[in-house]
Amino acid sequence: MARQYPADLLAAMLADDPGRPRLTWYDDEPGPTVGERIELSAKVLGNWVNKAGNLLQDDLAAGPGTTIGLDLPTHWRACYWALAAWGVGASVVIGDDARGADVLVTADPQRAAAHAGDAVLVSLPALARSHPDAGDAAGAIDEARELSTHGDQFVALADPEPADLALSDGGGDTAYGALVALEPGWGDGPRVALNGPLGAVLRQALSAWAGGGSVVLSRGTAPNAGHRLASEGVTLSPV
């Protein structure tokens, strides 16, 4: 397989079948969003990624060399923010080092307010129109309010080099040239159930998409996990 970047995967999914579900989300974490199920086609996922990419590139001048900290749980919103960061050629940082990144993408208004650089405050609920505590993070971009104002089409101003840092998650650093990798044994078009640390989930999602597949992503513990996986047509549940 020729070297691929995450943006290549998104383009391939759109060309193959823009209406096919590529990311299905279940929230089983106790809290205000428990019970949410969201299904994103390639086209819808692409719209989210492109809007976030335009915000990063146009409003925050993000590009190759910029570090973008993802201070988010394993979540469908974290997926499109990671893809957007890779679309502009930036380096995604997860874990303790995220808060020292040039741009912090976080769901915590206190961390957004305390960040020395640019900050984006993310609302996790699917239908959020503004963050309820945005007033506590003066200077941060309220994603729920601002993201919709950005365009659905994205053109990167610069591309990363294969050796540029793509992902740092505490468990190791991965360059752009090694970020997208097929998983041996997954086959073509896998339907992969993912639940775990964000860095591992992002890598596995890229592998699933690289193989022409799709992802069923969740957080928390589902009481009817077996029934759900069967109803979603899941073929793989990597540990």
Instruction: Give the Cα separation of 59 and 37 in Å (integer).
Output: 31
Domain range holding 189?
Answer: 6-231
How far apart CA 206 and CA 70 sit, in angstroms, is 17
Q: Is residue 148 part of a domain?
A: yes
What is d(CA 190, CA 210) in angstroms, rounded to the nearest whole number? 10
Amino acid 132: pLDDT = 94
104 within domain boundaries: yes
In a domain, 224, yes or no: yes
pLDDT tens per residue across span 143-162: 999 999 999 999 999 999 99
Distance of CA 188 to the CA centre of its chain: 22
With respect to residue 238, please indicate whether it lies within any of the assigned structural domains: no
- Average pLDDT, rounded, for the chain: 95
pLDDT tens track for 67-116:
999 999 999 999 999 999 999 999 999 998 999 999 999 999 999 999 99
Question: Residue 122 domain-assigned?
Answer: yes
What confidence score (pLDDT) does residue 2 get? 56
Q: Tell me the three-class secondary structure of 21-65, residue by residue.
A: EEEEEEEECCCCCCCCEEEEEHHHHHHHHHHHHHHHHHHHCCCCC
pLDDT at residue 1 tops 70 = no
In a domain, 108, yes or no: yes
Give the domain CATH number at 219.
3.40.50.12780
Residue 135 has pLDDT above 50, yes or no: yes
Q: How many domains does the chain have?
A: 1
Q: Do the domain assignments include residue 239?
A: no
